[in-house]
A and B are shown apart, each in its own frame.
Chain A
Amino acid sequence: MPVNTSLAPLKSSSFGYLQAQHLLARAGFGGTPAQIQALVAMGLEQAVDSLVNYDKVDASQLAAAQADPDLLRPATQEEKLAYAKAKQADDQEAFAQLRAGRVMRENQDRQQMRGLVHWWFSRMVDTPRPLEEKLTLLWHGHFASNHRTVRDSFLMYQQNALLREHAAGNFAQLVYGIIRDPAMLRFLDNNSNRKSKPNENLARELMELFTLGEGNYSEDDIKQGARALTGYSFEDNDFVFHRRQHDSQAKQIFGQSGDFAGEDFVRLILAKPACSEFVAFKLYKHFVADVTDPRRLPPAAAVVVRKLAEELRRGEYALRPVLTTLFRSQHFYDATITGNMIKSPAQLLAGSMRVLATPRRDLGVLTGAMQMMGQELFNPPSVKGWDGGETWINSSTLFVRQNLCVYLLTGKMSSRGKWKSDKSGYDATAMIDDAQHKSPQTLVDTLMSALLGAQRLPQHRDTLLDFVKERGVKDDTVLALLLLITAMPEYQLC
């Protein structure tokens, strides 16, 4: 059967449990069977609305971030004086003291970063607005900066706030914001982009990775664009425009000339159709299917990406209308699309906690596991962000993924050859009601449809059935089944 590439809404009668489960997994991190049933009851239109228009959902119960803006403030006048004095007197002891102070503040900063990683991850698990976090994560991987290079937790937090503010708003606002974002300016060295000595890093990545994609600009556009961005810098935590370092002479970008500044450069980029295609590709990759290269898309995906790009252009980069169309579309619920994406580590972990309603485990262990699975929040590996898709899983990360589920379900983890146990128990039987306990078939089917998406192998159901039949239904059977289902290859998909 050919893939349905229509963006017209799915028939409302076709929106059942599997479709609602798919919607909640992709536009959020998944949920319990009761939460999925609630979406089914709402119907397609309202279900999508409740996820996309999340600003109407109260999220005031979520914990606020703890972010001290002054941990790494610039040196005060007195400190500078003390440094100069020590230098003049060649006072090694004073130097050592100043250096020790610096080391201490950097340690505090790393500690604050760890706290913010915990904060964000907890938010993914707890939020009643899952699409807000899903989109913020998308933009974090798209406009990627990392603490490893920026080395200032508050700047990373500020960038996160910028991405969250415009997450479902307008893509143009994200781009205008990012060229004035101190973390990005530091990450891409734009604080050393001066009239006398332009630095092309931001101009290049802005076009290659953030807006147009390779092949849609020339090397000269980069040079001219870099000139437009000269003087865009920051001091302490704030954007600063250094007028004297800005090159206000005429420039030629994409064949147009003018005394362009950074905002003009962005405006010219956004006007190019390639930009809308690139953003549509990113939305498709994040929400619809594991595609890798915008220039080598499977035919059906290419058709849908083009349509999404048209809609982005029509709405001048407004994101909510495009997301609404996408999540309601027939294509989104096509049998080749449902349940066929590799879960990102965030999806796997936050999703498992939401679907299974497991107790809160040690956040240090959980975020440490995220790192081992290749997705350290606030630390994407490079300006390219995360490659995603199949690159998430290999021999090492698969065991981490499976063993993490063992930890979530039992509180037990093997560490340095010993089993460590966490105090909170987990009542697996809450996943079923009493009647479902009786027959092996209903038990297996209930748990499989709670935990797995549309892609399942029939012989794996047989394996689970054999397991239950051989042992008989006992008190611990539900937990045993949950351990096995979360270790199934299909559990890596959503």
Chain B
Amino acid sequence: MTDQNTFTRREFVSTGLVLVSTITSVPAFLKNSAVVLAAPAGGAGPGNRPGVPEERILVVVQLSGGNDGLNAVVPFGMPEYYRARPALSVKDNTVLKLDATQGIGLNPALADFKSMLDDGQAAIIQGVGYPNPNRSHFASMDIWHTADPVRGSARGEGWLGRGLDLVAVDKQGHAQAEACVCIGNSAPLATQGARVKPVTFERADAFRWAGGDLHPALTSAYDRLNRTPLEREVPLHDQSQVPFVLRTALDAQVASDRIRAAVAKGPATPFPRSGLADQLKTVAAMIRAELPTRVYYVALGGFDTHANQAGRQDGLLSQLGAALKAFYAELAALGQEQRVLTMCFSEFGRRVEQNASQGTDHGTAGPMFLAGPMVRPGLHGAHPSLERTQLDGGDLKYHTDFRCVYAAILDQWLKADSKAVLGSAFKPAEVLKGTS
């Protein structure tokens, strides 16, 4: 029965049911030790801690709208910065200094992120972009999602989906259930694979059939209809889709049970109240419940600051820093922080010159933020020059191709061959520990 090839549908279905009951009834320490025992010999993973699974997790935080990199990671040592932004610069006496020689610091709204940097728990990659930048939100977001600046969305698959296709699909071609979980109202292109399809929900408590709320009597009948083990006796022809819909219905109930049970437990440490903090709190709960998820995807929108940028962006940056700090405090309390890498990106940075409405327009390169104890902490790469002759039509030139960052995460973290995912070899950015 352990041989995958002899796994019948009936056994598959009953395993699914057992799994549900395991989640709710087996004491956590037993389950955890089972996982450790099952780990491959010599597979010293990131934590290798008793009770913590080996599988590494990536959390992606999408900063939608185009985060103004220059007012987040501030080049206070460059006079051109203050000339380009007379009414929209972060004053050098308020900047949180990171590198005195380069003259780089952080917007004070990122104080929480600064403390993570100081603790060796975070990194910033400066000047990340790609050739021939596209300044449309949609087109540039597609490029980041597909890692394909030429064809954009043409393939309908994204870098994470393709990566998970390599590491979360068994020999029979079945994708690991819940390999990827997205919080939002639709699944990001990045997470679409040929095999792996993300589980997506806006709120975990709504990830279920809503009809039962109308009348409690409906729930038990619904459960009988949707948790039907497929009896071999049912006369079905070879091509029948009935087994497929029954299995999918059962899978959905199992996923819903697991996720809602996970999220129903409150966090071990306090989280601030914000949209992003709520999402990361949900992710932490799912990690705590040891879902088999390898990639979580969350988003924070509102970065498209064409007008009156200062207050708005500061609020978003402070939300980002506070949520990340709380997330890692929670993970540390759970003993899970070693296996969770977080990557934050935005579709583009913004123009060097402020505009006439105290805002900035769409630009090009920008910084990426990484968090987790496995990152090589601090600043990576040089800040792009702001000298007029060094700009590209008023925009920053990139130093690091974002696909080099993806390559590092794919090869060194998710253990998915980056060349196969990205279509060609990119030199992995040296941002994770244990690499040179």
Contact = CB atoms under 8 A, between A and B. Distances in A.
B138 A148 contact: yes
Nearest to B135: A99
B361 interface: yes
Given A463-B225, A490-B245, A416 B142 contact: no
Given A382-B154, A414-B213, A464 B221 contact: yes
Contacts of A215: none
A384 B242 contact: no
Contact of B238 (A149, A298, A410, A476): A298
B353 A383 contact: no
A409 to B, nearest CB: 9
Contacts of B208: 399
Contacts of B237: 335-336
A402 interface: yes
A396 interface: yes
A393 B245 contact: yes
Contact of A149 (B154, B240, B251, B353): B154
B155 interface: yes
Given A340-B239, A467-B221, A398 B152 contact: no
B206 A395 contact: no
A398 B240 CA distance: 19
B186 A480 contact: no
Given A381-B156, A396-B200, A289 B239 contact: yes
B155 A382 contact: yes
Contacts of B255: 395
Given A487-B209, A487-B211, A490-B242, A96 B249 contact: no
A383 B154 contact: yes
A457 B192 CA distance: 33
A130 B127 CA distance: 53
B353 to A, nearest CB: 6
B242 to A, nearest CB: 5
Nearest to A405: B211
Contact of B224 (A289, A412, A463, A476): A463
Interface in A403-447: 403, 406, 410, 412-414, 416-417, 419
Interface in B137-158: 138, 142, 152-157
Nearest to A407: B210
A382 B145 CA distance: 14
Given A99-B361, A457-B228, A398 B238 contact: no
A483 B211 contact: yes
Contacts of B35: none
B197 interface: yes
A488 interface: yes
B218 to A, nearest CB: 6
B245 A342 contact: yes
Given A382-B156, A413-B210, A489 B249 contact: yes
A230 interface: no
Given A96-B356, A290-B241, A395 B214 contact: no
A406 B211 contact: yes
A139 to B, nearest CB: 18
Contacts of B29: none
A459 B242 CA distance: 13
A396 B177 CA distance: 11
A63 interface: no
Contacts of A336: 237-240
A371 B188 CA distance: 12
Nearest to B223: A463
B242 A455 contact: yes
Contacts of A487: 209, 211, 222, 225-226
Interface in B203-262: 203, 205-211, 213-215, 217-218, 221-222, 224-226, 228, 231, 234, 237-242, 244-246, 248-249, 251-252, 255-256
Contact of B186 (A371, A382, A489, A490): A371
B275 to A, nearest CB: 11
B355 interface: yes
A455 B206 CA distance: 29
A281 B405 CA distance: 42
A146 interface: yes
A340 B187 contact: no
Given A382-B156, A384-B156, A398-B249, A460 B225 contact: yes
A399 B207 contact: yes
B240 A455 contact: yes
A457 B242 contact: yes
A413 B245 CA distance: 24
A88 interface: no
A92 interface: yes
Interface in A333-390: 335-336, 340-342, 368, 371-372, 381-384, 390
Nearest to A455: B242
A340 B210 contact: no
A394 B199 contact: yes
A391 interface: yes
Given A148-B153, A467-B217, A395 B242 contact: no
Contacts of A414: 206, 210, 213
Interface in A83-131: 92-93, 96, 99
B366 to A, nearest CB: 19
Contacts of B199: 394-396
Contacts of A340: 239-241
Nearest to A402: B209
B201 interface: yes
A309 interface: no
A493 interface: yes
Interface string B78-107: 000000000000000000000000000000
A146 B256 CA distance: 32
B164 to A, nearest CB: 14
B132 interface: no
A169 B198 CA distance: 39
A479 to B, nearest CB: 9
A11 interface: no
B207 to A, nearest CB: 6
Given A417-B206, A471-B217, A480-B218, A399 B242 contact: no
A492 interface: yes
A93 B206 contact: no
Contacts of B356: 92-93, 96
Nearest to A381: B156
A493 B203 contact: no
A373 B105 CA distance: 44
Contacts of B197: 391, 394, 396
Interface in B159-217: 177-178, 185-187, 189, 192, 197-203, 205-211, 213-215, 217
26 contacts: A93-B356, A148-B153, A151-B136, A151-B138, A336-B237, A340-B241, A342-B241, A381-B192, A382-B153, A382-B156, A393-B248, A394-B197, A395-B199, A395-B255, A396-B198, A412-B210, A416-B202, A459-B228, A483-B211, A484-B225, A488-B226, A489-B225, A489-B228, A489-B246, A489-B249, A492-B248
Interface of B: 136, 138, 142, 152-157, 177-178, 185-187, 189, 192, 197-203, 205-211, 213-215, 217-218, 221-222, 224-226, 228, 231, 234, 237-242, 244-246, 248-249, 251-252, 255-256, 353, 355-357, 361
Given A413-B210, A489-B245, 4 more contacts: A99-B361, A340-B241, A342-B241, A489-B249
A-B pairs, top 8 by smallest CB distance, nearest first, are A382-B156, A381-B156, A489-B245, A395-B252, A395-B255, A489-B249, A467-B221, A398-B252
